[in-house]
Structure 1
Amino acid sequence: MRHSRLNCAQLRCSWLLFTAILVLCFSAVISATNDIDSTDFCRWYGVTCNRQHHRVTVLDLHSQGLSGSISPHIGNLSFLRKLWLQNNSFSLEIPTQIGQLHHLQMLYLSNNSLTGEISKNISACLNLVFLHLEYNQLVGGIPAELGSLSNLQFVNFAANQLTGSIPSSIGNLSSLEAIYCYQNGLSGIIPQSLGHLNKLKVLTLASNGLSGTIPPTIFNLSSLTEIDIRENQIRGNLPEDIGFTLPNLQVLIIASNQFAGSIPLLQGLRMDDNLISGPIPSDLGKLSHLAKLILSNNNLSGIIPPSLQNLQMFGVLPMEIRNLKHLDTLDVSRNILDSEIPSSLGNCDGLTVLRLQDNLFHGPIPQSISSLRSIKELDLSVNNFYGEIPQFLEKFQFLEKLNLSYNHFEGMLPTEGVFGNVSATFVAGNEKLCGGMPVFELPKCVSQNSKSRGRVHKLKLTIAIRRNEPISSSLNDSLFNLSYGTLLKATDGFSSTNLIGVGSFGSVYKGLLQENGNVIAVKVLNLTRHGALKSFKAECEAFKSIKHRNLLKVLTACSSVDYKGDEFKALVYEFMINGSLEEWLHPNPAPNDADGHSKKLSLLQRINISIDVAFALDYLHNQCESPIIHCDLKPSNVLLDADMVGHVGDFGLTKIVLESMSDTRASMSSIGLKGTIGYTAPEYANGSPVSREGDVYSYGILLLEMFTGLSPTSDMFRDNLSLHNYVDKALPLQAKEITDPVLFHEGESRKSSQDLPRERNCILQECLETVYHIGLACSVEEPRRRMSIDKVATQLHSIKKKLFAVSSLG
């Protein structure tokens, strides 16, 4: 018999009710079947019974906000096969009576606050297949007695406080497919007996204190797809033929250990959708049998390795890539890679997929790419490539997708081959392209003579202008210079119709450059405001040394005089078509924006933007040569591009920090409160120096605002009630009630939240609770207790993966 399906919010059981369920189930079992119809406990929420004996076989009360201890009466449900109590707030020890559940196959107690040791009595549950105890506060060692569970396929002890060594008896679990023991205090060596687990696919022992070497027998487990042993003290060499002995291995993570030797040979290296940073190593070319290299959606960046500095440029695609003769897929999209395409890439003539989009690549498409005759997909979009589109791309007969959008290509668009298929070729955002098939709607190309005459005329005009007014100063010699007159014309005289924002030290205008049609954002400093000049210098200084895909890109800075002879200073940014996060969280009373689209952010969009901002802060705090503190993080300083990617801007209050071994201090003092009321860390009011923790506090408030839809300066927050306290009091029982109602109106025409599959609905609620816990952990009053921004990014990334996973459930 199936229980009735109810809304998660309506099913928030108290601990007393849960105890009553167990007691009544137990009472019903020992009483004769005469009372079954009157008790009817099999219809209760979360209870499933078998039809033959009318006994409880499934108890599913996960994500119900339950607390207290798990009742020892649980052991009386002798027919129980599945016990799901994860994502609650249970505390105290796991009852030893669980060992009486001899039919139990699935035990899920993860994401609670359970303490004490793992009960040895669990070893009596001989039919156990899944054992989930992760994210609790369990102590002691892993019981050796668990080695008797011959049916166990999946064990997860991650994120507890377990100590001691991994018992060798684990090697007796012949059915085991996955071991997760990361984030504990385990020590000793990896036992040789793990090499007996012929069905093992996943071995994750990261973030412990393990030492010794990896047992050679591990490398004979051909079923392995993932090995993660990062952050231990494991040493030794990896076998160079690991790619052949472990043919199914997709993920190998050994960072922060003591390994030596060369990079092993792998047939596939896939590390996409992670938080990997730094450069791609020059040793990459040693993976000569590599067939697929997928590193997309990371934070890969860095300068060229010393061994390759003859390239005379920044770069992270090493020349040794020419040795990858067997490579058929190379995907490094959505990173921060800054180089030209290495000419040696043309040696990988077996490539069928090449994805370089959404990076900082620049330069022309090299002639060596003409060797890639097998290419089926070539994506170079959203970069800084320039020059003419080479004619040889017309001859790629297997090319099914070519994306050159949003670069700086110029000249005539070819018309043959893939260029004749509008559904396969994408060239939007290249303002200087002309010609091509009519469907691309590009302007007609002018003759070379006409073009030359135009250039001469334009040059004369530029010289004439610059004789009459000072030349602007640029942050980088490679960036274009814009004069006061050019900015005046681009913004229609800094007209109010082009005003898109007003900040502490100036106003921001939308501008259109008449020379090339590019849209820009111009921040004009109000130099009569105290601190405006200091703000201008701070922002210029910051943007000299930083570059990240989630930071607002500064094109140039103009320091000049206006036509009245007054001092003029402005910063020119790339234009963010979707405005600021502030406009999306708190739209104007008008129901729609100028384009007729309702300004509503979905749950996934909010997660993505929060990850973008976390990435930006992590870069500023931990990856710059000198840490940079933003000091004014708030929704109006987070800008959104056409793809709703978040970019942190407005570095007017930025401090570049000098670090010593013992402490971190601001390199220059500032007067008064740093930042904006509502988002500023409380310690700043007491004169504390700026710090990473101060930015993290602002981020925490921003995160809570993004998901509640409430501003920290709202009128409802008074009399010691703050946004932080408001959320803290609501958890865990009222997470949905405090969430922005817009999120629960998504897709109402298709399906209401009550109609969603129960598992999906509860996971969505679990994700919201986790987001709120992150926001609270970032915005606690004591700076030393705040979560580090790199951990924030990791946890939000996990939430994003969960949301993707449940999207298929309805």
Structure 2
Amino acid sequence: MIEFRIGGNQIFGIIPSGIRNLVNLIALGMQSNQLHGTIPDVIGELKNLQGLFLYKNVLQGSIPSGVGNLTKLAKLVMSYNSLQGNIPSSLGNCQNLIGFNASHNKLTGALPQQLLSITTLSVYLDLSNNNLNGSLPLQIGNLKNLVKLIISSNQFSGVIPVTLSTCVSLEYLDISSNSFHGVIPHSLGFLKSIKVLNFSSNNLSGQIPEFLENLSFLEFLNFSHNDLEGEVPTKGVFSSKTKLSLQGNVKLCGGTDELHLPTCPSKGSRKPKITLLKVLIPVAVLCMVLSSCLTIVYARRRRSARKSVDTSPREKQFPTVSYAELSKATSEFASSNMIGQGSFGSVYKGILGEDEMIVAVKVINLKQKGAFKSFMAECKALRNIRHRNLIKIITICSSIDSKGADFKALVFECMKNGSLEDWLHQSNDHLEVCKLTLIQRVNIAIDVASAIEYLHHHCQPPMVHGDLKPSNVLLDHDMVSHVGDFGLAKFLSSHQLDTASKTSSSSIGIKGTVGYVAPGKFFMLYTHILSFSYMNVNLF
């Protein structure tokens, strides 16, 4: 006997342990009956089994670990029972599994990473309506061929992992009725085959990404009952009310008329009627802004000069982090997580540790000439400096990688709004970024000036940045500027810095990127920002 199918009857009782004798079985179908009791562990002795169907019974107990012995298993369906306990990690041995459905049970615990190592999973993975908890592991990105993923109505939490973007075959994604928080990752724009997205009844925040307009196969989108805000797009799936559910997000505005959402606040669409005003008023405002900025910087400098500077060193503990932890946090430094690249290395976005801290990991390319010297200079510079407008280092890693080669990296707080370069010169990868307002530009200029003033006059020893440019000015979630990349920084004595500021040349020399002369010439960046204000900002 190679098939035993008794589904769709009214058979009751337990599954007998004698089932172990049917060693040649390829398919076992006992679904839609009234079977109770537990699933016997001896079922793992049916080594030739390819299909196991136990759904719609009243089975209890846990999923036996012996199921992991069914290495030829292709489909495992045990939904609509009363199964309890954890999903056994031994399921990772079923490397031929293409479909697994354990929905509508009472399963608990975290989602085992071993299950997500089954790269053959392609038809469905349905774990909905259980009591599973914890975060959705980054290893979900291993399921590149999966078509349907349903984990709704559980107790999952944490952020939506960016690695979901590598599941490029997904057509149906349902994570509704959980406790996911944070923003909707822009990396989901790579899910070009997606037809249904259901993120309802979570704690998601931030704006609705505009890339969703461009998903040509998207037929239904449900973001209801979250904490989303901002303007609703109008194209693609957003053009039809029947394809969209947004209720319960009281901070949303705009969208098509049939959504009946409030009008978004005006972004300054009123235009002057007199051409002369279009020229004179911006020029006058820019002059006033320039004067105000100079006054503020001068006042801060005078005020700081009257205060005694605490030069005593303060101990600062940095957490220890290994290469393996950084590799895990960045999905083995995947290109999809790369957020920047410079002369001496690349920067990756990652989720680090049990606290799921979002960090930026700068990996030094030690094969590049001068990279080690740059790493040491940045470590020395960041060790003692403390200022709200300087990038904050979390820790460093000096170890060896998985191939035994030297590995050095710096771990920083991740700046949500990227670099000033991205905002001033929008590329095709950042089309969703809005233009900077005049006030934002002024605040950025003041922040940068404050940071450079601190480096020149209030840190011990004083230092010059050496490579001040828009790509090294990072913006946090409140659009506060943070100056970073101290790989070309140079320490000076107070006498050297005073001499450099009073003479037309110094022993420091010209360092940094062509077009941005450092040290101390931060007004070039300041003028660059204001010039874009004059050319691009519509004041009226």
Output the TM-score relative to the length of structure 1: 0.29
Q: Which structure: greater strand fraction? A: 2
> More relative contact order in 1 or in 2 (CA 8 Å, sep 6+)?
2
Output the TM-score relative to the length of structure 2: 0.43
